[in-house]
Amino acid sequence: MRKKVSIVGAGNVGGSVAQRLAETGVTDIVLADVFDGYAQGKALDLAQAGPVVGYDCAITGATLPADYHLTADSDVVVFTSGAPRKPGMSRDDLLATNQKIVVDNVSQIVRHSPQCVLVMVNNPLDAMAHLAFKTAGFPKARVVGQAGILDTARFRTFLAKELHVSVRDVNAYVLGGHGDDMVPLVSYTTVGGVPVSRLIAPERLAAIVDRTRKGGQEIVDLLKTGSAYQAPAAATTQMVLSILLDQKRLLPCSTYLEGEYGITDLFVGVPCKLGAAGVEQVIEIDLAPDERDALHRTASSVRSLVHKLGL
């Protein structure tokens, strides 16, 4: 029986996730949105690209909430629905707007796909993942947030450009909350196996870390009428494939911590093993004292948002 992925929110991120997944050919896809005809139009367009590109999966459009039954028995549900950032807005500014959207939709997701793994993508990411977890009542392994892969990809991109090397030779981790106090782990960053601190001067490296933290805002400011979607979609697709194919990739994801890294009852980005069961293991790595302090600071920022949600 073919796998099934439903994507709630057919905007730029959701539509791009659908395209990337369709091109793998490993799963059928339901693309869903509240705007009548919007998801159906995108789904039909993607289906008609199949004969050219060479994929042969079923792609279905759905209008929510009436068509939630079309998402039934999904293996993975990707949640991208929510208000996008505009210039001058932080991710945290979206808290109240997206709270109701998450609660209403997650309740429907649980009803129709009670065994799914729920991948959260909307902002503020860690707080929304926490809200979805509490709303769904799922085991903690089956709710996970996409952030660290995207933040790490930005860090790797900036480092590769600085050194004029392939991004494939840059290995790094960005942990913590998906916000301006995220934690790029310089001590774990290497280029072709060489510690990055030996290749880039401290002040220049600090500037790249700062640009990484503000990477999403940089794109929002440039676009003026939207936010990033290609890189977020690519990062989300990597997570979905690791779950669907039980690849057990070690990826930085926002997951519910119960004492790991000294953090309890909170979604924070840390290295995770992603497989068919969702987050199958949280990987604890040794952090430099300043990095551990920074991780706890970003956790405090996430906790303040969670408290504003009343959780």
What is the C-alpha to C-alpha distance for residues 198 and 240, in angstroms, rounded to an integer? 35
CB 183 within 8 A of CB 294: yes
Place of tokens 């992603």: 274
CB 135 within 8 A of CB 107: yes
Q: Among this protein's residues, is 296 annotated catalytic?
A: no
- Residue 57 CB burial class (10 angstroms; 0-12, 13-18, ≥19): buried
Q: Provide CB contacts within 8 A for 225, sequence distance 6+.
A: 86
Residue of 112, 164, 178, 296 with catalytic role: 178
CB 116 within 8 A of CB 109: yes
Go through 245-264 and write b for each residue having 16 or more CB atoms within 10 A of its CB, e for each that does not: eeeebebbbbbbbeeebebe
Q: Which residues are catalytic?
A: 178
